[in-house]
Amino acid sequence: MRSLFAAPGHALMLSLCALAPLALGARAASAATAVTEASCDTPDGSGGTKCGAHTPASILAPTTSPAKARALATDMRVPPEPVSGGWLKWNYMLGDLGGLRSYLARHGISLVGHYMSEPDGNVTGGRTQDAKYTQQVDVEIKVDTARAMGIKGGAIKVVLLNRSGATLSSSVIGNYLVTQQLAGAGNDNRLGEMSWTQLLDGKRWLLRFGYYPLGNYFGHEGYGCDLMNLAFCAHAMTLSYDSGWRNNPKGQWGLEVRRNLPEETYIQTGVFQVDPYNGGHDNGFKLTMSGSGVIFPVEVGWEPTKALHMLDGHYGVGGYFDTTRAADALDDRYNQPVAYSGKAFRVDNGRWGVYANFDQKLMKFGNDNKRGLILTGSMGYSDPSTKSAVYQNTATVTMLAFGPFASRPDDLISVGWGYLLPNQREQLYTAQVDAKKGQAYHKASDEQVFELDYGAAVTPWLNLRPNLQYVRHPYGLTATPNAFVIGADVKIVL
């Protein structure tokens, strides 16, 4: 059946060819601004050196600005191992691997791995009470092409990973806002990313292409995944659940172009494959370019730290159009409700959505740029026309205290609120079907989650983060008891 989608695969190739000259033909413009990736290496695939508590805070604590924390594409620096202090002071649990890391670093190659696990259980509420466990092991390789190949301004990134375990949300609580961010995505071995990033025209332009989740660099919250619930993990949930948008660890073929503008602003766009199968079990290395269509994201961002002499901040807005044809959520081809007409659902041309996110440091603790109070927020909206739009609206607000105590400068206290509203047109269809049958219908309203975490940097390579979650109206239904969840997030830098 995959051969049926060959035509959209050719469309992707044509779109990639059309976008490439835009970046390669870039000419000199205004003074260069810092080139950053709109990515923090999240626990669902890419691993690395950013984003607070994903790995030990001593390695990942924010630098002088969120822009720098998201990292220059060609930053290949490897933290040296301490010469004294013993194993518990090392940056990596496995140390320098007998000198291998240092040798590779001298040749422009970075090698790092992670082990992550998320056990949790609901002590009250939900459909029943139980405990579940998810885990991920990943290896990330970065190559600085200037040192390794003599090609200035380039970086190659490869991520391999394995996921296993089961989620508490689908089988026990029965809710939308998944309590474990490592859950799902095939539970198999998988290629998470294989990309080339190239800086051009004095870092004014960035070109990236390869096989990777577009969510690594679009719609990404600067301090994403500093709580355990998937609602807080770096993106509005409407993006990947309602379209061909992919987040870690599910990759897709694509190309993107970013233009860095004066006054700390940027604009970026791209074209990516839509493959509805790549998240399935044992599909982690099926790198076909076929699919059901292509998706075009666009994002505009502003990082006013220097322009307005503010504390660190990032603000972004964007959207996408997915060319995939999808069944309407309510009506037939004559614009009549399917529940009453009995005809097939109308097939709509394309899907679209919008999003916005921000992070802003509100204050520093003492005079330490690594420590401080940060406010973040996000929202997402998907066009509810199609049945594939599972979620219509999502929103999150989080407060993060990095280094809350002078004696614990690498710890993190985080609190968050998440909101989700399911597709109301699909809810109307279900209500019409039940009314026709003379059955009672319980309309799904919003679901909300509240979470509190304490991330303790036990060593530079080990972070333990116990947390509490409260899920209100699981699956948007008042009939299902609210759930109280106790969990923990464990991160080890190998």
DSSP result, 260-282: EETTTEEEEEEEEEE-TTTTSTT
User: Torsions phi, psi of 57, nearest 5?
Assistant: -65, -25
Closest CA to 465 of 487, 447, 449: 487
CB 232 within 8 A of CB 472: no
Q: For residue 366, give Cα distances in angstroms to 255, 313, 403, 411.
A: 43, 19, 10, 15
Query: Residue 373's pLDDT is what?
Result: 95
Token readout for 154 is 């380039």
**Residue 386 DSSP SS3:** strand
For the chain, domain boundaries: 7-23+51-493
HSE (side-chain half, CA atoms, 13 Å) at 123 = 7
Query: Would you give the DSSP letter of residue 106?
Result: H
What is d(CA 412, CA 367) in angstroms, rounded to the nearest whole number? 17
Q: Residues 17-22: contacts with CB within 8 Å, 24+ apart? A: 19/255, 19/257, 19/269, 19/270, 19/271, 20/207, 20/209, 20/255, 22/257
**pLDDT one digit per residue (tens) for the chain, 494 residues:** 333 333 444 444 444 444 443 333 333 333 333 222 233 333 233 333 333 333 322 222 223 334 433 443 334 455 566 655 789 999 999 999 999 999 999 999 999 999 999 999 999 999 999 999 999 999 999 999 999 999 999 999 999 999 999 999 988 999 999 999 998 777 889 999 999 999 999 999 999 999 999 999 999 887 878 999 999 998 899 998 899 999 989 999 999 999 999 878 999 999 999 998 887 778 888 888 888 899 999 999 998 875 566 788 999 999 999 999 999 999 999 999 999 999 999 999 999 999 999 999 999 998 888 999 999 999 999 999 998 888 999 999 999 999 999 999 999 999 999 999 999 998 889 889 888 888 887 778 899 999 999 999 999 999 999 999 999 999 998 889 999 999 999 999 99
CB 134 within 8 A of CB 183: yes
Q: For residue 197, give Cα distances in angstroms to 144, 229, 430.
A: 10, 30, 46
The burial of 265, by beta-carbon neighbours within 10 Å (0-12 exposed, 13-18 middle, 19 or more buried), is given as: middle
Strand partners, 453: 414, 467
Instruction: Residues 7-23+51-493: name the CATH superfamily.
Output: Carbohydrate-selective porin OprB (2.40.160.180)
Closest CA to 469 of 168, 55, 117, 163: 168
What is d(CA 327, CA 28) in angstroms, rounded to the nearest whole number? 46
What is d(CA 193, CA 74) in angstroms, rounded to the nearest whole number? 16
What is d(CA 283, CA 246) in angstroms, rounded to the nearest whole number? 14
Number of CB atoms found within 10 A of residue 171's CB: 13
**CA dihedral (267, 270, 275, 279) positive or negative:** negative
Query: Residue 281's pLDDT is what?
Result: 79
HSE (side-chain half, CA atoms, 13 Å) at 271 = 18
Strand partners, 355: 318, 380
14 Ramachandran zone, left/alpha/beta (phi>0; psi -120 to 50): alpha
User: Torsions phi, psi of 310, nearest 5?
Assistant: -90, 170
Strand partners, 260: 266
**CA dihedral (44, 222, 67, 82) positive or negative:** negative
- Residue 101 identity: R
Place of tokens 């999150």: 396
Q: For residue 408, give Cα distances in angstroms to 41, 58, 354.
A: 23, 10, 39
Strand partners, 137: 115, 162
CB 413 within 8 A of CB 57: no
The per-residue b/e assignment along 333-358, b for 16 or more CB within 10 angstroms, e otherwise, is: eeeebbbeeeeebbebebbbbbbbbb
Query: Residue 82's pLDDT is what?
Result: 60
Token readout for 56 is 């030990």
Contacts of 88 by beta carbon, 8 Å cutoff, 6+ apart:
459
Closest CA to 182 of 219, 217, 223, 133: 133
Token readout for 81 is 């191992």
**Residue 249: is the preceding peptide bond cis (ω within 30°)?**
yes
Closest CA to 227 of 448, 454, 63, 58: 454
